[in-house]
Structure 1
Amino acid sequence: MSVYIIAEAGVNHNGSLKTAKLMVDSAKEAGADCIKFQTFVAKKIASKNAGKAEYQERQTGTNESQLDMLSKLELSFDEFVELSEYCKLKEIEFLSTGFDFDSIDFLNSLDMKKWKIPSGDITNLPYLIKIAELNKPVILSTGMSTMQDIRDAVQILEEHGLGDITVLHCTTEYPTPFEDVNLAAMKTIKEEFGVPIGYSDHTRGIEIPIAAVAMGATVIEKHFTLDRNMEGPDHKASLEPDELKAMVSAIRNVEISIGNSEKQPAESEKKNMAVARKSIVANCPIKKGEVFTEENLTVKRPGNGISPMKWFEMIGQLAKRDFEEDELIEL
């Protein structure tokens, strides 16, 4: 099964439906399987007293609350209906994370194929139950989480009837320092829960999600933007369209390259075996009846004669005919 690549638009549309549609076009052009947005009613997910994250303050300033910032990034439910239809038209899967119950109910009416639980809600018991009871495949992000947090969340989802869970390793910092990525944690998650694993990436560049695929990720989520210089909290830690396209292409190459666990010559390399390997050849002219020795035999290319692995079997045998120097030895 191919790696499922989510182009995370998030709120990088800056509250503009027109920009969101351009992002759909960009994600489709890049070859992503899915474009994901964030659906929320700002006043239902952030109180008046909620401050901004440090990275949000760096990008949007300190003169407004988190609620004020989020209010400017909302798209209405009607706009999401239009956006969902636009994704169908462009033949790319529409996905959006619902951050509050009203948004979840609305998104459920759009008949999304799967649900994405954000890192910030992995400890939100009522939220987890509501998503589980929708009985659709879930992708669970685990930024800021301990293994116990993940255990608790997976247990809640399973206790409420959910069986199809993919767990994404994630570090919730924008951008994530490379030393904080800890890709090896994906293996720990897979070994403990026996579920498909993936990686939600917030590093700069494309190399870390590519590495994650090589390590077994079946889902990759990566933020992207039309322009990193746009105003907004997430643009600086996002890929631009050409970078997103390069990441998708590289991931497709890596997943093809992984192959299976069996070591054997590839079809493409078999033709080179005779050229690159060596055979036992005459080191000098050898007369019929002469004894093969370590002095009159040697090993040279091509490799379509007797294998040097039979060297000691050859020593002491008699030449059945005359051999010229460099001629392949025959018995």
Structure 2
Amino acid sequence: MKVVNITKEKTVQNFSTPYIIAEIGANHNGDMQLAKKMIDAAVECGCDAVKFQSWTPDSIVSKEEYDRNQRYNDSAKKHFGSLREMVDKYYLRTEQHYDLESYCRQKNIDFCSTPFTNREVDLLEDLHVPFYKIASMDINNYDFLAYVAQKGKPVILSTGMSTLGEIETAIKVVNNAGNDDIVLLHCISIYPPLYEDIHLNNITMLQQTFGYPVGFSDHTIGYSIPLASVALGSCVIEKHFTLDKDLPGWDHEISANPEEMKIICQESHNIVKSLGNFKRTVSSAEIAKKDKFRRSAVAKIEINAGHIVSVNDLDFKRPGTGIQPEEIKYLIGRKVKSGIPEGELIKWEHFE
């Protein structure tokens, strides 16, 4: 089973305790005080890392796309102005990267970010990020994947919108760049997806098809689906994070709030502990329950000395300290040497 050292202190493999990433993304809304409050909350929840997104107004959106999105029609007031105005407000400046990485070090939580150009990869390399998370949109951006892979750090690759062939090719690009430290994330790039479109069984399929650790990049509302993914072996959980789902911005509404994120962190650990192994195991505590909860033979009626026991003479009730139900064949046809009152546990010494 492939093991990836995702950080110096943390290894991941299928069915290991999941490495939980609070995806802040652009939910800081351009406010560094809000970003730091979110980092504090992620620490309190028990997350392993906070993740941002490293892009600029020129990184991922073309002029044509900006021109097409001049005004948001949003009655809920989650958006404002044009796409360009929102990007200008929400993108993370270079100096803010350094400020947030330093703050994360103080708070003992891993800082990471998704880059979208080589320039941003270089920035994150200077910040000594432990790994690179590649967004689903870049799974077929092969030159970019190779550039990231050559940094020699683990690559966490989201697979939203991708065919198996595209995933296979992306893995080969990373491998050919000399990097075999890959974690795949099952991902549905809809915010939020319909339940019937999630296909959590793809986690098992990806594990078996490619042999790499597989996690889950979640865009559902709530915490039930990421927790379900842990039972299938997800070793990384990436979940959008917010302090308030009603804040303006792109992703707050589908993000986990601190209460939900704390449940994900705590319960995912409990799920991993509870999975155990494929060997049938009965604990000593459970074995001790046998005497209390199983049944023993009792006299259904008063049985006199000299009587030959038949099935109609017997009942089986708690506790399980006497003659067990599976031993009934050794009772039938035997002669009683001393009387047995109705309802009393039958013992071997009652017989000749």
Q: Give the TM-score band, short-chain normalised.
A: over 0.9
CA distance 1:62–1:37, shift in 2 (3 Å): closer
Q: TM-score, normalised by structure 1?
A: 0.92
Structure 1 residue runs without a partner (length 5+):
none
Matched residue SS, 1:166: strand
Kindly tell me the number of residue pairs found equivalent between the two proteins: 328
1:279 equivalenced with 2:279 (yes/no) = no
Amino acid at match of 1:239: A
Structure 1 stretches of at least 4 aligned residues deviating more than 4 Å after TM superposition: 56-63
Compared CA separation, residues 327 and 47, structure 1 to 2 (3 A): same
Partner residue of 2:130?
A: 113
Cα distance in 2, alignment partners of residues 279 and 96 from structure 1: 63
Aligned residues of 2:245 and 2:253 also touching (Cα < 8 A): yes
**Distance of aligned partners of 1:226 and 1:62 in 2 relative to their CA distance in 1, 3 Å threshold:** closer
Matched, 1:12 2:27: yes
Any conservation in 2 of the 1:279–1:302 contact (CA below 8 Å)? yes
Cα deviation, 1:63-96, whole Å, max 9, x if unaligned, reads: 523x443222112222111111111111111111
Checking the alignment, whether the CA contact within 8 Å between 1:16 and 1:75 is kept in structure 2 is no
Aligned to 1:84: 101
Aligned equivalent of 2:213 = 196
Distance 1:319 1:45 in 2: 90
1:1-331 correspondence runs (5 A):
1-50=16-65, 64-65=82-83, 67-319=84-336, 321-331=338-348
Q: What TM-score does the superposition give when structure 2 sets the normalisation length?
A: 0.87
Supply the distance in 2 between the matched residues of 1:11 and 1:168 (Cα, whole angstroms).
20
How many Å separate the matches in 2 of 1:41 and 1:9?
Answer: 16
Q: Distance in 2 between matches of 1:170 and 1:57?
A: 28
Counterpart amino acid of 2:33?
A: K
- Please state how far the C-alpha of 1:289 moved relative to its aligned partner: 4.6
Q: Percent identity?
A: 39
**RMSD over aligned Cα, in angstroms?**
2.1
Aligned counterpart, 2:6: none
Could you say if the C-alpha distance between residues 230 and 116 of structure 1 is closer, same or farther in structure 2, counting changes exceeding 3 Å? same
Indicate conservation of the 8 Å contact 1:17/1:75, yes or no: no
Q: CA deviation at 1:267?
A: 4.0
CA shift, 1:199, in A, is: 0.7
8 Å CA contact 2:79–2:86 kept in 1: the answer is: no
Q: Distance in 1 between matches of 2:73 and 2:34?
A: 23
Distance in 1 (CA, whole Å) between partners of 2:48 and 2:252 is 21
Counterpart CA distance in 1 for 2:108 and 2:284 is 35
Structure 2 counterpart SS, 1:295: helix
- Report Cα offsets for 1:242-286 as digits up to 9, x if no partner: 221122222222222212222232344334322221112222233
Mapped to 2, the partners of 1:112 and 1:318 lie a distance apart of 81
Partners of 1:158 and 1:320 lie apart in 2 by 80
Q: CA deviation at 1:324?
A: 2.6
Post-superposition shift, 1:322? 3.6
Alpha-carbon separation, structure 1, partners of 2:124 and 2:218? 24
What residue ranges of structure 2 are gaps of 5+ in the alignment? 1-15
User: Residues of 1 paired with 2:182 and 2:73: CA distance?
Assistant: 34
C-alpha distance in structure 1 between counterparts of 2:139 and 2:306, whole Å:
82
